[in-house]
Amino acid sequence: MASLFKKKTADDIIKEQNRELRGTQRAITRDRAALEKQEKQLELEIKKMAKTGNKDACKVLAKQLVQLRKQKTRTYAVSSKVTSMSTQTKVMNSQMKMAGAMSTTAKTMQAVNKKMDPQKTLQTMQNFQKENMKMEMTEEMINDTLDDIFDGSEEEEESQGIVNQVLDEIGIEISGKVGGNSLLHEEGFYPSLLKNNFST
């Protein structure tokens, strides 16, 4: 019983109107089909009367045919108007839904704006910017330190490679690290080199 006294919404009213318009459109289509059937029957009757030479009957039937065709033309006009009304109803329904969506969005935005504190939001953004700058500075320092480490090791490898290349050209082989007991010792390097050269 409660559903019988339920207040109809705009959406319910539009749906009812659409149902009525569709019903009207179907009725018009049935009427037009009936008129077309009568039109064919009148045409046959006129041909039959013309063959028998009954001119008066032909005139009467011809007038009826004219009226019937006018009525059929009116059905097309009415059908066009019903279609237009149905389209307008759909447009109105769409506009009402859009208006409802905009109203809901506006209320949501108002609620969010009430919850938000501009001062807190600004402070949060400033804190984020500050911490982001700290992070960038720390990252730069780490990158610089790593670059120094890798650059130093590359220079050491390059210098060691040059020393090895010179020793190879001279014909001296070394093993282990260059230290006080090696052939590159400040006191023993050149005598050993001279001795090797003269002995050959």
Query: How does pLDDT run across 105-136, given as a tens digit for each residue?
Result: 888 888 877 777 777 778 888 888 888 888 88
Q: List the one residue out of 27, 30, 20 whose CA is nearest residue 89.
A: 20
Give the C-alpha distances (Å, rounded to integers) separating 86 from 24, 89, 115, 158: 11, 5, 44, 87
**pLDDT above 90 as % of the chain:** 10
pLDDT at 157: 63
Span 67-95, mean pLDDT? 87
Element (H, E) at 200: none
pLDDT at 30: 92
Tell me how far apart the alpha carbons of residues 187 and 57 are, in angstroms, rounded to a whole number: 148
Tell me the average pLDDT of the chain: 75
The residues, ordered by sequence, that sit 6+ positions from 172 with a Cβ below 8 Å of its Cβ are: 183, 193, 196
Tell me how far apart the alpha carbons of residues 100 and 11 are, in angstroms, rounded to a whole number: 11
Q: Which residue has the tokens 């019988």?
A: 4
Q: List the one residue out of 66, 65, 83 whose CA is nearest residue 29.
A: 83
**pLDDT above 70 as % of the chain:** 70
Has residue 17 got a pLDDT over 70? yes
Structure tokens given for 104: 């809901």
55-59, 111-115, 194-198: which has the minimum mean pLDDT?
A: 194-198
pLDDT at 52: 87
Span 174-195, mean pLDDT? 45
Q: Give the residue ranges of DSSP H helices in the chain.
A: 10-52, 55-115, 118-170, 189-199
What is the end-to-end Cα distance of the chain in Å, rounded? 126
pLDDT at 33: 92
Angle at 182 (CA atoms; ends 179, 186), nearest 5 degrees: 75
What single DSSP character describes residue 175?
A: -
Structure tokens given for 192: 């050993």
Span 16-23, mean pLDDT? 85
The residues, ordered by sequence, that sit 6+ positions from 93 with a Cβ below 8 Å of its Cβ are: 11, 14
Q: Are 86 and 21 in contact (CB under 8 A)?
A: yes
